[in-house]
Amino acid sequence: MISRGHDEMRTSLLAAMTAASFAAVAAPPLPGLPASQPALSGAPAKAAPGAPRTIRWDELVPKDWDPLKEFKDLDLAGLADGDPRANKLLQRMREVWDAAPANPAIVGQAVRLPGFVVPLEETKQGLKEFLLVPYFGACIHSPPPPANQIVHVLAHAPVAFKSMDTVWVSGTLATVRTDSFMGAASYRIDGAAVERYTEKAR
C-alpha cells in the first residue's frame, strides 16, 4: 500500500465509515440539488401483484450486523505520517467490510432498488455489467462500502449508462459473491431491468 499522510489516512477511514453508517439511506436527491447530496433511496412501497418490491439499502444489511463494531474505539490522533499501524487498520477495515454478510430474509425476493452505477464491463452496444452502490463516488472517489451495500448487476440487455449515473435496478436478489477491481459485492441481480432513476418510487 502506498504510504499516505495522516490527514489523508483520516479522510479515507472517515469516508469509508460514513458509507458504513448508511448515510446512503437518506432522502433521495431532488432535481437541482448540488452533487454534495450523496444518497439515493426510494421509499419502500407496496408492490403490485407480480411486480418487484421497492426496497431501501438498509434492508440489505442483517439487523444484527454492525459495520462499525470493530472500529468504535478508533483513535487516529497518535498516528504519524506513514505509520504502519494506519495501513494495518485500513487493511483490517477492508477485510471486515469485504466479508460483510448478506441478509437472508431478503434473498430470493424480486426487488427494485435505486443507486449509482460503477461500470465493470462495457461493449459497443452499452453497459452489460456494473456495481450498484448507494451513494455518489463509492468505489471511485471514496473507498468501497461494505459488501452488503454493493449489488453486482448483470443487465438483461446492454444499457446506455455511464459511471455514477442514477438508475433503478429490478430483478431477483441472489447471494452470489463478486470480487471485482472496484469492490466486493455480497449480492447479485442477474438479467436485471435497468432504467433511469426518477424520484417517485412505483
Q: Which residue, 171, 161, 166, 158, is CA-closest to 116?
A: 166
| Cα–Cα distance for residue pair 108/103, rounded to 1 Å | 11
Take residue 14 and report the three cell numbers written for it: 472517515
Write down the H helix ranges in 63-173.
84-98
* Domain positions in the chain: 6-30+38-196
- Residue 198 pLDDT: 83
| Cα–Cα distance for residue pair 61/21, rounded to 1 Å | 11
Q: Which residue, 140, 130, 122, 120, is CA-closest to 169?
A: 130
Q: Say whether pLDDT at 145 is over 50.
A: yes
CATH of domain 6-30+38-196: 2.40.50.870
pLDDT tens-digit series, residues 157-174: 999 999 999 999 999 999
- Residue 161 pLDDT: 96
Who has greater pLDDT, 42 or 97? 97
| Cα–Cα distance for residue pair 105/20, rounded to 1 Å | 20
Average pLDDT, the chain: 78
- Residue 11 pLDDT: 47
Backbone conformation region of residue 65, classed left if phi is above 0, alpha if psi is from -120 to 50, else beta: beta
Which of 81-85, 113-117, 124-128, 138-142 comes out lowest in average pLDDT?
81-85
Who has greater pLDDT, 180 or 26? 180
